[in-house]
Structure 1
């Protein structure tokens, strides 16, 4: 005998109204058997399903047991109860909300920072087609990449690689007028120093999709001595007018003026390339734009045609190198071509990767630190996690006070799901209040954070995603952090609670202890990070550099003076009683100075050896005396020794020469210029102290734009006034501009300084959060054990004994956290310092200091409540019981 389809029957029983269910099921069953007798069982089942679906209409569907109005009322009730709980326990609630707010504020600020760092160069329309062309050297499983390429390679690529749509050379380092210049309009006499000059081919404007305000990107740089200026510079020099066709004079040289070919919008703050002036490389007769296959002076940018493969273009570039470039390099006298053919290639670096530089390309621009970005993100997440742990810990700790509430609610009919919903709602309310407080804290802290991070971040109040994201955070963090307390509190047995036979809170003590250990372990690790970075910074600042960076002033802006006036200015300054020595050189042992490199050989090995690369500095006879460097062999430039065919090398370059007595050795460079070594200067750090000292060659000559002055250790304002007076006598139409060498030295380690400060701030935040939780827990435990403490005092226990009793449980946890954190901190700091040459020793006292600091802070935190409990009158407590 066939039966009606069971699934359809269950569906109707589940969904139909109670007053219709029995009648409908009876009618359908009667029709089912009638159809089965007349036709077939299959036809009867299909008809049954058809009739069942017809009954699933709004009028027949069973209504929910809780109507919307009841849900709304229940939600309002939960919120009201949450607010009453907050108001009744103000200190306890303030600690919970305050801890949450600190964690969320830290996360919010660092999220803005990470978002900004990851947004660099991500605004191009043809994002996937724009690349920076770099060299690549692969040998022994290791890959090295660097940017600078030969100038004629541009034409070779254009003629032989059809997949490349545009290619442009740029000069971004100090060469010619790249870097900084003195600027004035053709009808002005006053020069203003400006930064942000680069050279570029006209195609760069199209590759980087530069938006123009005046002029067109196709024609703005297609005339010799033309330039494009930013909108900010246009408003400064040509306010309220179209400057296209106007003239600018650089370095007070009216014979070589530059014509404004266009005005571009300012480069976005999140662009790796920043320039206020772009000078054309088109049609140049000397300097940038004219070097051949001998020299690698240019950074190349390319854009590919739609659909072109990056890997295919790289392979085609390699083929062009083998069939054409090698011949040109051989003709130019390049050696080591066999090794180059084995190991050298080309790599197209996506433009969005340039700033964070995950491909580790060596170049001369400022980069973000990809690892540091994610380290900060992880730390911010940990701080938020600490805040959530605080919330969970404090919520479960208060289970004693809330046990009777849970029991009574269950007795009057609340089911566990209702209790869970109530406590989750309470958690979301706490988190919402914490987010509102965090917004206030983050807004107030943002200017300081911008100073610290070197950014100009702002709260994205008007962004469509901001408020919805905060709402989602309030819900997600509130639900996740409140889930365990809700499950824990809602499972209490009402009978055991109301009889007083249930000891709540004891079962959660193990978890609370684990959370306290986790909080202080993280705190100790961050304290270790702060101490190690502070020690590393101190090591660098106090490192013997091989030169004197103190009391040295760099006077800038000499570009407008001829050689005779520069020499006269130098002599006038030396005659001042405040000045010990002065030197004319653009090359200084700090970042941002002029950079020139050449390849050198011993003269007899020019044709049989690959040679080695060394920095090449042009200095005058007073250079080493001004900077306090030491000559270890031979002589420095003076008198006949100032002949430009003489050269002074540092100790590292003397070792590279491989001769027993370098003084008198004959050298030759890549341009076949010959030199005789007349002296050896003691090695000094002219790049980062975190690395090694590279080879350095010094030749005789005067600087173009910088005069360095070593001054007496006297009152600095008076010294600067004396220097300014002399300056105005030589250059009345140009402001006196200077920098201190020691400040520029500190700027070289800006990232380390920021890391040090951020570690300290994060350590402080974690200490505050951990101590807030520990303070609340100690207060709770002191209150909970007040009867025990009173009985002990009546029986003769001393105040110190009571204090030790209450403090010992927490101190055990803190000591366990210290023991856990020390090996973790050592591993993290060892990885953080990496293969830095001059790194701080990770000695035991650094970790002992961090652990001792955490123990002292924890002891101070719990002392207040422990002492108050130990000093209270026991009669009062027992009477209140």
Structure 2
């Protein structure tokens, strides 16, 4: 019996190969998209899962009235471990702040992040050097490791795991150090580095004011994390209150709290960070599921539409004694064959598209990975889509009554008609949402690219550097040499460049009111180099000696935060220094469009600041190439510590990376819109063919009675036109809510436009009319006699 059913199934699929091709092709395209999305979802949600203590590791962060941060001070980890027995281990890490040059003869590597970690943090994070994790001896010993790739570059012929001596900085710097071995840099982790230095302790001598470390704790399984979080908050306040007598400061400390952020949160939705990657992942996942649902709808619609052709077969089989359950299994087998063929084709399509997908999302995914979840997910999806897309058509087909069918009185039920129409409306509704989403994303990206940033990134070159220029007099000879090169208009150095990275923050008091604001330590010509506009007062100038001691410039957001009136000339206090405000600059979008401009103070001298290493140059456009060539040639004389290692990036390209996630989303929505429209049109094409063929005699009678071709086209298109119009009307509120929520993730955004909603209706209606008209053309042009000669 199975063999006979299989033969009938294959014969029917071949006989209706046009519909079969549309069914398999549409499903294969949707499945291929679903496979890629599934791979990416698994990748993004499995960061750090190889860590054996994954579920028990937390980052300790701080909460202030106006911000959250993951950065804490060095003593805190040790105090936590000493006070709470449920904390099995606690350690700290610190990211590198410069791109470190490491040399072995002529071989050079640039370590962008040479991280520091204490031994406890290395154990918590499961860091494993090639020789195994060793405990440093004594308080001062540091064991340094480079990642495998860097070690291969520096020592291409190395076959053992012995320690090696390397040079740091320029070849003639004379600075050397020991690399104890290599360490695998797990790129599928939140903790990545080019090199790492491990000590028993790091940050010795730094108090609770030095909040530039990350504290990790490992708790016992089953720990009440909420209770522990509260106890750590109480401990932190107690530590800060030691020796404090000022009542206002005491009150402010009591407003500070801590939080515990699971390791599982750090990649996609950190408590003290941006959860845009998580939202994009969810959006991408929903898109993948919806595309698959649309393909299943197509499948169901076309299968029901084909029901009339199988009616007599069902009638004969039932007369011969076949049960409904047997017929249901037969039709499900046919559907499974199509779904299986679609799955094989989907794997081929996904493999072909994977290189482009990897480039778009900057990942290295593979379908044929032995531990890939796809190997159990895909068979499950295959069975699910067989049941979802095939159950109702199989029940409809197997439920025909033999007497009615064999008398020739058969017609599909109104319920089937309503279902087909409803599914078609749903398909085009989803397609309309994707079109609206794509158009609004395009509008927001266009706005971001054309909006005034408040500073000029063009023609600004950021030079990577390892020298420290915290004292202005140290940068003077470097600036003088740089400015002698033709085409260079200005040069400056600072702790941060406006590339989206957040600067440090600290408490500053103005007229008795303390608030936490960001700080950036700069040098002369910082604002001029970036073309930042002055609103009030003046910029820093070498003509004013106090500028290098206690002068500060603030932005408009700082003025608004403190409610300042005529701030120039007034005092703002921070880091035990009274700063005289000499200028106010207009706000500029250093952190991009997703975050509002933060209140920021700029000073040349900051006892609590970071190292000034970021050199920026403003270069004339027509002299850019010559100036860069001259800088490269003269750099050993200009900045001997860097020596021959001159390297740079254009600031506009650095800033442009802030748009990367939204550009990815734009590409995804473009692909999703094309796929959904293509799949919907495929289904519509076949459905229109079935509908038109069922009305051949009606069309013939109308033509005999004098109906014109235009009237016939209008008649056939009218029902489809109404369904697509209804689909758009239903999709608009959904699209409005979703796009509004997406736009709300931007501090600076467009107003929700009407044009995308109208455009989606026009596009879907136009495509529907064209598709249906192409299919109806044959019926309209046919001779009425051919349709009615047997009547």
Quickly say closer, same or farther: Cα 1:747–1:844, change in 2 above 3 A. Answer: same
Secondary structure of 1:458's counterpart equals coil
- Greater Cα offset, 490-499 or 708-717: 708-717
Given that residues 266 and 276 in structure 1 are in contact (C-alpha distance below 8 angstroms), is that contact kept between their aligned partners in structure 2?
yes
Tell me, in whole angstroms, the C-alpha distance in 1 between the residues paired with 2:519 and 2:541.
19
Residue pairs, 1:97-136, within 5 angstroms: 97-136=24-63
Query: Are 2:119 and 1:202 aligned?
Result: yes
Quickly say closer, same or farther: Cα 1:324–1:430, change in 2 above 3 A. Answer: same
Given that residues 192 and 734 in structure 1 are in contact (C-alpha distance below 8 angstroms), is that contact kept between their aligned partners in structure 2?
no
Partner residue, 2:260: 348
Query: Are 2:493 and 1:584 aligned?
Result: yes
Match of residue 247, structure 1, among 133, 154, 165? 165
Partner residue, 2:75: 152
Given that residues 120 and 355 in structure 1 are in contact (C-alpha distance below 8 angstroms), is that contact kept between their aligned partners in structure 2?
yes
Query: Are 2:207 and 1:292 aligned?
Result: yes
Tell me, in whole angstroms, the C-alpha distance in 2 between the residues paired with 1:646 and 1:316.
41
Secondary structure of 1:591's counterpart equals coil
Match of residue 780, structure 1, among 678, 690, 695? 690
Give a deviation string over 1:215-237, Cα, whole Å, max 9, x none. Answer: 53333896434423223322232
Partner residue, 2:764: 854
Quickly say closer, same or farther: Cα 1:772–1:680, change in 2 above 3 A. Answer: same
Quickly say closer, same or farther: Cα 1:715–1:414, change in 2 above 3 A. Answer: farther
Secondary structure of 2:455's counterpart equals coil
Structure of higher RCO (CA pairs closer than 8 Å, 6+ residues apart): 2
Query: Are 2:235 and 1:320 aligned?
Result: yes
Secondary structure of 1:120's counterpart equals coil
Query: Are 2:670 and 1:767 aligned?
Result: no
Given that residues 315 and 405 in structure 2 are in contact (C-alpha distance below 8 angstroms), is that contact kept between their aligned partners in structure 1?
yes
Given that residues 108 and 153 in structure 2 are in contact (C-alpha distance below 8 angstroms), is that contact kept between their aligned partners in structure 1?
no
Secondary structure of 1:827's counterpart equals helix
Partner residue, 2:573: 668
Match of residue 155, structure 2, among 238, 242, 248? 238
Unaligned runs of 5+ in 1: 1-73
Query: Are 2:92 and 1:169 aligned?
Result: yes
Given that residues 237 and 256 in structure 2 are in contact (C-alpha distance below 8 angstroms), is that contact kept between their aligned partners in structure 1?
no
Query: Are 2:668 and 1:739 aligned?
Result: no
Query: Are 2:345 and 1:437 aligned?
Result: yes
Query: Are 2:347 and 1:478 aligned?
Result: no
Give a deviation string over 1:345-393, Cα, whole Å, max 9, x none. Answer: 3333222222223xx5215xx8673333233222221211111110110
Tell me, in whole angstroms, the C-alpha distance in 2 between the residues paired with 1:857 and 1:569.
64
Secondary structure of 1:203's counterpart equals helix
TM-score scaled to structure 2, two decimals?
A: 0.91
Secondary structure of 2:603's counterpart equals strand
Tell me, in whole angstroms, the C-alpha distance in 2 between the residues paired with 1:715 and 1:426.
70
Partner residue, 2:296: 388
Tell me, in whole angstroms, the C-alpha distance in 1 between the residues paired with 2:635 and 2:555.
33
Given that residues 528 and 825 in structure 1 are in contact (C-alpha distance below 8 angstroms), is that contact kept between their aligned partners in structure 2?
yes
Greater radius of gyration (CA) = 1
- 1:868 CA drift (Å): 3.2
- 1:83 CA drift (Å): 1.8
Query: Are 2:760 and 1:828 aligned?
Result: no
Given that residues 129 and 145 in structure 2 are in contact (C-alpha distance below 8 angstroms), is that contact kept between their aligned partners in structure 1?
no
Given that residues 221 and 228 in structure 1 are in contact (C-alpha distance below 8 angstroms), is that contact kept between their aligned partners in structure 2?
no
Give a deviation string over 1:276-303, Cα, whole Å, max 9, x none. Answer: 212246576xxx5542122322210112
Query: Are 2:659 and 1:749 aligned?
Result: yes
Match of residue 868, structure 1, among 755, 778, 781? 778
Quickly say closer, same or farther: Cα 1:854–1:559, change in 2 above 3 A. Answer: farther
Partner residue, 1:217: 134
Quickly say closer, same or farther: Cα 1:442–1:557, change in 2 above 3 A. Answer: same
Residue pairs, 1:28-107, within 5 angstroms: 74-107=1-34
Partner residue, 1:498: 406
Match of residue 802, structure 1, among 712, 722, 731? 712
Given that residues 508 and 573 in structure 2 are in contact (C-alpha distance below 8 angstroms), is that contact kept between their aligned partners in structure 1?
yes
- 1:726 CA drift (Å): 4.9
- 1:523 CA drift (Å): 0.9
Given that residues 558 and 566 in structure 1 are in contact (C-alpha distance below 8 angstroms), is that contact kept between their aligned partners in structure 2?
no
Query: Are 2:249 and 1:336 aligned?
Result: yes
Given that residues 420 and 486 in structure 1 are in contact (C-alpha distance below 8 angstroms), is that contact kept between their aligned partners in structure 2?
yes
Secondary structure of 1:582's counterpart equals strand
Secondary structure of 1:212's counterpart equals coil
- 1:154 CA drift (Å): 2.9
Residue pairs, 1:501-512, within 5 angstroms: 501-504=409-412, 507-512=415-420
Tell me, in whole angstroms, the C-alpha distance in 1 between the residues paired with 2:491 and 2:783.
77
Match of residue 228, structure 1, among 138, 145, 150? 145
Give a deviation string over 1:470-504, Cα, whole Å, max 9, x none. Answer: 33332232133111111111122222222212223
Query: Are 2:708 and 1:708 aligned?
Result: no
Residue pairs, 1:326-725, within 5 angstroms: 326-327=241-242, 330=244, 336-341=249-254, 343-357=255-269, 360-362=270-272, 369-463=277-371, 466-504=374-412, 507-557=415-465, 559=467, 570-571=479-480, 573-592=482-501, 595-602=503-510, 605=511, 608-609=512-513, 611-641=514-544, 642-670=547-575, 672-700=576-604, 704-714=612-622, 720-721=628-629, 724-725=632-633
RMSD: 3.1
Unaligned runs of 5+ in 2: none
Tell me, in whole angstroms, the C-alpha distance in 2 between the residues paired with 1:634 and 1:312.
50
Secondary structure of 1:674's counterpart equals strand
Quickly say closer, same or farther: Cα 1:694–1:292, change in 2 above 3 A. Answer: same
Partner residue, 1:46: none
Give a deviation string over 1:159-200, Cα, whole Å, max 9, x none. Answer: 33333232112123xxxx435222224xx3665322222222
- 1:456 CA drift (Å): 1.5
Tell me, in whole angstroms, the C-alpha distance in 2 between the residues paired with 1:659 and 1:627.
25
Given that residues 651 and 683 in structure 1 are in contact (C-alpha distance below 8 angstroms), is that contact kept between their aligned partners in structure 2?
yes
Partner residue, 1:42: none
Given that residues 580 and 710 in structure 1 are in contact (C-alpha distance below 8 angstroms), is that contact kept between their aligned partners in structure 2?
yes
Quickly say closer, same or farther: Cα 1:310–1:820, change in 2 above 3 A. Answer: closer
Quickly say closer, same or farther: Cα 1:571–1:859, change in 2 above 3 A. Answer: farther
Give a deviation string over 1:532-578, Cα, whole Å, max 9, x none. Answer: 22212222222211111223222323549999996566555545554
> How many residues are paired up?
780
- Greater Cα offset, 112-121 or 630-639: 630-639
- 1:153 CA drift (Å): 1.8
- Greater Cα offset, 800-809 or 434-443: 800-809
- Greater Cα offset, 734-743 or 436-445: 734-743
Partner residue, 1:264: 183
Tell me, in whole angstroms, the C-alpha distance in 2 between the residues paired with 1:146 and 1:704.
22
Tell me, in whole angstroms, the C-alpha distance in 2 between the residues paired with 1:379 and 1:430.
23
Given that residues 647 and 675 in structure 1 are in contact (C-alpha distance below 8 angstroms), is that contact kept between their aligned partners in structure 2?
yes
Tell me, in whole angstroms, the C-alpha distance in 2 between the residues paired with 1:265 and 1:220.
23
- 1:213 CA drift (Å): 0.8
Quickly say closer, same or farther: Cα 1:528–1:220, change in 2 above 3 A. Answer: farther
Query: Are 2:86 and 1:178 aligned?
Result: no
- 1:322 CA drift (Å): 5.3
- 1:516 CA drift (Å): 0.7
Given that residues 140 and 199 in structure 2 are in contact (C-alpha distance below 8 angstroms), is that contact kept between their aligned partners in structure 1?
no
Quickly say closer, same or farther: Cα 1:83–1:704, change in 2 above 3 A. Answer: same
Given that residues 87 and 218 in structure 2 are in contact (C-alpha distance below 8 angstroms), is that contact kept between their aligned partners in structure 1?
yes
Tell me, in whole angstroms, the C-alpha distance in 2 between the residues paired with 1:831 and 1:695.
26
